[in-house]
């Protein structure tokens, strides 16, 4: 299957997450314990805007997530599937809550500058993971697919590298520009 189709599938799965985020009731926030919320607040205190360490942390976190998804994709493609749906859900769920507290403009100012790089990185990386994971699974069942696996891996590593490269400007923008727009 062509990589373009994997991108469409990744976009569709992310869209499912977005739709789920739109229909999730605000009362779901109660699912998070006060301990979970305290952990998020503690992390927010560590990730200070305008600090190089914050940009490095964001870059490493996002890079690790994509790499783990790619490496674990041969396990029934579960990690890329979950990553796309959960990211779409969480982004939309939180955005809906913030729109209710602030405004749509506030959400867009907080997401668009770095999201221009981060969302394509997510879709490119997860599409590569889905493609590789599927090829690895199929290689278990047909001998001719085993010969195609190395070519698939090579092609998808190139797409993964592009995705990882996009995460660097996203982390820098999220650290240095987004806080300026939210004040």
- Evaluate whether residue 112 is within a structural domain: yes
What do you get for the CA distance between the two ends of the chain, in Å?
A: 46
Number of domains in the chain: 1
- Evaluate whether residue 118 is within a structural domain: yes
Q: What is the pLDDT of residues 116-155, one digit of tens each?
A: 999 999 999 999 999 999 999 999 988 777 788 999 999 9
> What DSSP string runs through 8-20?
HHHHHHHHHHHHH
C-alpha distances out from residue 54 to 67, 132, 133, 159, 174, Å: 20, 31, 32, 26, 9
Please list the ranges in the chain whose pLDDT falls under 70: 27-34, 36-38, 40-45
- Evaluate whether residue 23 is within a structural domain: no
Quick one: how far is CA 156 from the chain centroid? 17
Quick one: how far is CA 18 from the chain centroid? 12
Rounded CA gap, 108 and 112, in Å? 5
pLDDT (0 to 100) of residue 34: 64
C-alpha distances out from residue 52 to 20, 106, 113, 169, 180, Å: 35, 24, 18, 13, 16
- Evaluate whether residue 46 is within a structural domain: no
Q: Which structural domain range is residue 91 located in?
A: 3-17+51-181
- Evaluate whether residue 139 is within a structural domain: yes
**b/e code 47-80 from CB counts within 10 Å (16+ = b):** beeeeeebbebbbeebbebbeebbebbbeebebb
pLDDT (0 to 100) of residue 146: 77
Rounded CA gap, 66 and 132, in Å? 13
């Amino acid at each position: 299957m062509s990589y373009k189709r994997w991108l469409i599938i990744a976009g569709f799965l992310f869209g499912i997450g977005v739709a789920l985020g739109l229909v999730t009731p605000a009362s779901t926030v109660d699912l998070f314990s006060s301990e979970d919320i305290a952990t998020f607040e503690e992390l927010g205190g560590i990730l200070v805007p305008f600090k190089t360490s914050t940009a490095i942390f964001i870059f490493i976190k996002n890079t690790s997530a994509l790499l783990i998804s790619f490496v674990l994709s041969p396990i029934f493609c579960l990690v890329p599937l979950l990553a796309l749906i959960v990211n779409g859900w969480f982004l939309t769920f939180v955005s809906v809550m913030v729109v209710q507290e602030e405004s749509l403009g506030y959400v867009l100012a907080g997401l668009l500058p770095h999201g221009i790089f981060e969302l394509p990185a997510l879709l490119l990386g997860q599409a590569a993971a889905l493609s590789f994971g599927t090829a690895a699974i199929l290689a278990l069942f047909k001998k001719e697919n085993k010969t195609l696996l190395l070519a698939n891996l090579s092609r998808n590593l190139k797409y993964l590298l592009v995705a990882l490269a996009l995460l660097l400007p996203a982390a820098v923008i999220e650290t240095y520009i987004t806080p300026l727009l939210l004040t």
